[in-house]
């Protein structure tokens, strides 16, 4: 259970800062997801932690020890690459046991540990197979087993599930989370898939332009986004530009909107953005005027797309609560108590 701390960590490529002055403390034993759009610096950050990139400035501490100048091969981390990077010239068992072979573990012991790890990732008895004989999901499991072979101080995964199809990916997300809970190893996963992050993580770190936009528990990040970027990136959000008149009144295209006690205001009076989740949009007698532009019956839910003064607003209902509306109908929008977050533009 090793904490990971970053102190002013910076990596520049030419004039571009891929990771920009990051200071973070990640608690040990947790499952952390680095989430962000491509090019936000999340993979660079993971590679810095692994020692595969040299930081321009800053320090990396693991369990209180400074690792910044420790070469990759002495850090004792486990890592799963996006391409998986399984060795085609070795059998499945030898792949898993490679980190042990490097450390001079006797052959019999290596073999036993490989079998144990393969059983852990639900691939018992596969040690003698060749890598190319495995399916995508099986290769994924082998890569995870190999990353865990030495009981790593940190387990780093770079978009580990991106090559799998949707069903298998969801299955592996659950499996990976369960495995981490069982082993308690501090795990950092890079992903651009917010659902994946919400499924697996204890702590989500949302990154953009080399900086941390928000760090917190998945539901906290979802319910209480720190800024418009996080609100737009995590899940679907309706982002309506307006003006904050005082701490409890908002003006959206000329309509006054009173904020309730559970709603959160994160900017001073002035121009603001109202962020509301689709599931918090309701139809009521009094509110923002809008008309229905499209209805998507998705089976498990009903998505109603509306137009309010030229702004698109999405509302989400369960099939049982489906309002009796059709395309073109005029409605008024209200927001569920506690569903509004007012952010700086």
Residues that bind other proteins (CB under 8 A): 50-52, 71-79, 81-83, 85, 87-89, 98-99, 102-103, 146, 149-150, 156
**What is the spatial distance between Cα 190 and Cα 188, in angstroms, rounded to a whole number?**
7
Q: Which is nearer to other proteins, 76 or 332 (CB)?
A: 76
Burial label, 82 (beta-carbon count in 10 A; 0-12, 13-18, 19+): middle
Paired sense of beta strands 57-62 and 31-35, if any: unpaired
Pull the structure tokens for residue 157. Answer: 């995964």
Question: Minimum distance from CB of 178 to other proteins (Å)?
Answer: 24
The helix (H) or strand (E) run that includes residue 4 is strand 4-13
Question: Minimum distance from CB of 79 to other proteins (Å)?
Answer: 4
Spatial neighbors of 201 by CB under 8 A, at least 6 apart, are 31, 32, 33, 189, 218
Question: Minimum distance from CB of 249 to other proteins (Å)?
Answer: 54
Q: Which is nearer to other proteins, 146 or 223 (CB)?
A: 146
Question: Minimum distance from CB of 166 to other proteins (Å)?
Answer: 24
Q: What is the DSSP string of 35-100?
A: E--TTSSHHHHHHHHHTSS--SEEEEEETTEE-TTS-GGGS--EEE-TT----TTSBHHHHHHHHH
Question: Minimum distance from CB of 119 to other proteins (Å)?
Answer: 20
Q: Which is nearer to other proteins, 81 or 317 (CB)?
A: 81
CB atoms within 10 A of CB 108: 8
Angle between helices 136-147 and 107-120 (to 10 degrees): 130
Q: Which is nearer to other proteins, 155 or 222 (CB)?
A: 155
Question: Minimum distance from CB of 57 to other proteins (Å)?
Answer: 23
Question: Minimum distance from CB of 89 to other proteins (Å)?
Answer: 5
Query: SS3 for 118?
Result: helix
Q: Which is nearer to other proteins, 23 or 72 (CB)?
A: 72
Name beta bridge partners: 297. Answer: 302
Q: Which is nearer to other proteins, 153 or 223 (CB)?
A: 153
Q: Which is nearer to other proteins, 89 or 182 (CB)?
A: 89
Q: What is the distance between the terminal CA atoms of the chain, rounded to a whole angstrom?
A: 40
**What is the spatial distance between Cα 157 and Cα 189, in angstroms, rounded to a whole number?**
5
Q: Which is nearer to other proteins, 110 or 223 (CB)?
A: 110
Question: Minimum distance from CB of 78 to other proteins (Å)?
Answer: 7
């Amino acid at each position: 259970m090793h904490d990971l701390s970053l102190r002013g960590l910076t990596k520049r490529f030419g004039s571009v800062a891929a990771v920009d002055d990051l200071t973070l403390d990640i608690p040990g034993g947790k499952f952390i997801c680095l989430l962000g759009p491509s090019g936000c610096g999340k993979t660079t950050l993971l590679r810095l932690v692994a020692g595969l990139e040299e930081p321009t400035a800053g320090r990396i501490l693991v369990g209180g020890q400074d690792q910044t100048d420790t070469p990759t091969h002495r850090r004792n981390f486990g890592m799963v690459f996006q391409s998986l990077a399984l060795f085609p010239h070795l059998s499945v068992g030898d792949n898993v046991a490679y980190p042990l072979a490097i450390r001079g573990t006797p052959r019999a012991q290596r073999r036993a540990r490989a079998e144990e790890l393969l059983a852990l990732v639900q691939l018992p008895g596969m040690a003698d197979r060749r890598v190319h004989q495995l399916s995508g999901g099986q290769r994924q499991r082998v890569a995870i087993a190999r990353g865990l072979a030495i009981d790593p101080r940190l387990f780093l995964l770079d978009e580990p599930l991106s090559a799998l199809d949707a069903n298998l990916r969801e299955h592996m997300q659950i499996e990976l989370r369960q495995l981490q809970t069982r082993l308690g190893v501090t795990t950092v996963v890079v992903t651009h898939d917010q659902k994946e992050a919400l499924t697996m993580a204890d702590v989500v770190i949302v990154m953009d332009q080399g900086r941390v936009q928000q760090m917190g528990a998945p539901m906290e990040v979802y319910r209480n986004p720190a800024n418009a970027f996080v609100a737009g990136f995590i899940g679907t959000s309706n982002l309506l530009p307006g003006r904050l008149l005082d701490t409890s009144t908002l003006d959206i295209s000329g309509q006054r909107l009173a904020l309730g006690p559970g709603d959160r205001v994160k900017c001073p009076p002035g121009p603001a953005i109202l962020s509301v989740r689709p599931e918090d949009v309701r139809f009521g007698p009094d509110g923002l005027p809008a008309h229905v532009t499209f209805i998507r019956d998705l089976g498990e839910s009903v998505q109603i797309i509306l137009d309010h003064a030229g702004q698109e607003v999405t509302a989400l209902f369960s099939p049982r609560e489906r309002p009796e509306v059709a395309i073109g109908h005029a409605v008024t929008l209200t927001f569920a108590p506690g569903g509004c977050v007012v952010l700086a533009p």
